[in-house]
Amino acid sequence: MAGQADFFVAMGLGVGPALLTLWFSLRRFDRPHMDHTLFDDRRVFGSLAAGMIFGVLASVLSVAVQQPSAVGFFAVLALVLAVEEGFKVVYLNRRAYRGRFDTTFYGVALGVGAASTAVAASAVWNPGSLSAPATLVFLGVFSLSLGLANAVSGSVIGFGASQGDTWRPFAQAVGIRYAHFALLSPFVLLAGTPEALFSAIGLVTSLVFALILYGWVYAYLLPGTLPEDIRRKIRRARRRTQAVKE
């Protein structure tokens, strides 16, 4: 029973922040904010599911090829992160997705899906890690940080696919993930050691970095993916709403 409880807690820690990020990202492009939904629900949840499956595979890969040295550890993680972003490129540049403005939205779903199961796997593969309240808080913050970073990289690749651009967004996404992991690495390496303060600082710093990038995605990239005619319609609706309020 304890093992089952740990599994459900781990899934909640991973999936909960992912779904919250996805809902917050897409809510402006759905009813009642719009007169019709600007994305396909089936593709959103299909991308989320694909990301979750790949998140498990990426976690297995990172564990299977772990190296005892610090250099080997970082080399493996760099490879895994590049493979993760490569998967997003392949998924979002398929014929049915490339050139569509809503592919940016599916990039968010794909990213948070991959992060959710990676966090859950990290918790499940560390026996006893879910017994302390402080650990649950740290894992919750870790989940939010990783989910936001993946939402950013997924939306960057998705936006590139919507514009017919592949390799520049891929390089940007990999750079974002590398920078995020560099900030997060003290938490990964020092969690549970006497240097727990540095671990916490690394975790909080990675979250701040992810929040800043996500703020840019939320304010500029997601609205910027919309065609100009839809943006004009939104601006007219906002002006009418403002006029009614005045």
pTM > 0.95: no
pLDDT one-digit tens code per residue, 156-172: 999 999 999 999 999 99
Q: Total structural domains in the chain? A: 1
For residue 32, cis peptide bond before it (omega within 30 degrees of 0): yes
Q: What is the pLDDT of residue 72?
A: 72
pLDDT band at 63 (very low <50, low <70, confident <90, very high): low
Kindly give the interhelix angle for 41-64 and 2-26, rounded to the nearest 10 degrees: 130
pLDDT one-digit tens code per residue, 194-245: 667 888 899 999 999 999 999 999 999 999 999 999 988 888 777 776 666 6
Specify the DSSP element, H or E, that contains 206.
Answer: helix 196-216
Query: 8 phi and psi, to 5 degrees?
Result: -70, -35
Dist. CA 116–CA 202, nearest whole Å? 20
Query: 3 phi and psi, to 5 degrees?
Result: -65, -40
Domain range for 112 is 2-245
Cα–Cα nearest to 149, from 125, 120, 118: 118
